[in-house]
Amino acid sequence: MRAAVIGVGVIGSLHAEILSEKNMLAAVCDTDENKLKKYACPGYTDYKTMIDAVKPDCVHICTPHYLHAEMIIHALGAGVNVLCEKPLCINRQQIEAILEAEKRSAAKLGVCLQNRYNKENVFVKEYLKDKNVKCAVAHVAWHRTKEYYASADWRGKYATEGGGVLINQALHTLDLLQYFAGMPKTLTASVSNLTLKDCIEVEDTAVIQSVKGAGISLFASNGCAADMPVNITVRTDKDVIQIYPGAVLINGVTADIEKTTEKPRGKECYGSSHGILIEDFYNHIKENRRFEIDGKEASKVVKLILASYESGGSETEV
């Protein structure tokens, strides 16, 4: 199969590396021509031109958040499979437009929520399948600097990033909370900017609570003094399951989970499951099966985030 990558920045370079290893990289696209020079395949500065010229089996969309929706819709309309980096999109109108385009297209859409493929999360999902989950709680404490936000002009702005710590750093963890516990009917949330007021307009700190339907709680900040490991705790009728990077404890006892053989790629926070997800997505294309993390599934965490921004401290429907 022939694949193309749209946007070869930090995360796009990772996708291109994986595809090159599989001898699948047919083209790359970026508005910065300098980023195209290191690739042996054809390079383009316009993604529509690239799709028309190369006719890839799949495009990987690794661009700033605000561009995801238009690129997904165009590619699906051209009958090209799409694997998009998170988030799916940044507003409710885009969700509806993407789902409609997905419904009309014979092509498949997948979204990179790769932490679902981490061995500890695979183990916990299987462990919970016949259990009643009462609640799931997570803490995300990371450190982002002024220099990080100054590295790209789309970061830190509602119009282009769609938000702050929730839609960028904490999205994967929030997705896992609903993956384990289910989607809540309502939530109450508070977002604030405690440490980065002079460089971003979005939040650096957020708290989400839900008790109706699925019980989930998230405490997230990228204004901490240093990056800390993400931890998730899931409570069932009988068990307390604690999830840490590479380890799971059930009622205080370390579970015997399969160890990953994938090497970490890119930033440490990316984990090591991008390659696993990408391979699984292409297997679904080849076998003409629905990919589990499609538009509808990937929109769940976006709806949680949008409801959190709309909440303002009041109970809000998701």
The rounded percent of the chain whose pLDDT value lies above 70 is 97
Q: Break the chain into its structural domains and give their ranges.
A: 3-114, 115-268+293-317
3-state helix, strand, coil in the chain (%, to 5): 35, 25, 40
pLDDT band at 264; cut points 50, 70, 90: low
**Cα–Cα–Cα angle for 290, 166, 129, nearest 5°?**
45
Q: Do domains 3-114 and 115-268+293-317 have the same CATH topology?
A: no
Among the four given CATH numbers 3.40.190.10, 3.40.50.720, 1.10.3080.10, 3.90.180.10, the one describing domain 3-114: 3.40.50.720
Model confidence at 169, in pLDDT bands (50, 70, 90)? Answer: very high
Q: How confident is the model at residue 178 (pLDDT cuts 50, 70, 90)?
A: very high
pLDDT band at 217 (very low <50, low <70, confident <90, very high): very high
Give the pLDDT of residue 126: 97
Indicate whether 258 pLDDT > 90. Answer: no
Q: Which whole-number Å values give the CA distances from 194 to 199, 207, 223, in the listed order?
A: 11, 13, 7
Question: How far is residue 251's CA from residue 249's CA, in Å, rounded to a whole number?
Answer: 6
**Are the C-beta atoms of 80 and 61 separated by less than 8 Å?**
no
- Residue entry with tokens 């009643």: 132
Mean pLDDT value across residues 259-274: 72
DSSP, residue by residue, 53-122:
HH--SEEEE-S-GGGHHHHHHHHHHTT-EEEEESPS-SSHHHHHHHHHHHHH-SS-EEEE-GGGGSHHHH
Taking the C-alpha atoms of residue 19 and residue 25, their distance in angstroms, rounded to an integer, is 5
- Given a contact cutoff of 8 angstroms between Cβ atoms, the answer to whether 222 and 171 are in contact is no
Q: How far apart are CA 317 and CA 143, in angstroms?
A: 30
The owner of tokens 């990179």 is 112
Contact 80, 219 (CB under 8 A): no
At 269 the pLDDT is 66
Contact 108, 285 (CB under 8 A): yes
Fold classified for 115-268+293-317: Dihydrodipicolinate Reductase; domain 2 (3.30.360)
Share above pLDDT 90 across residues of the chain, in percent, rounded to a whole number: 94
Band of pLDDT at residue 124, cut at 50, 70 and 90: very high
Whether the predicted pLDDT of 262 surpasses 80? no
Q: Are 68 and 61 in contact (CB under 8 A)?
A: yes
Buried b (16+ CB within 10 A) or exposed e, 91-115: eeebbebbbebbeebebbbbbbbbb
Exposed, middle or buried by CB within 10 Å (0-12, 13-18, 19+), for 148?
A: middle
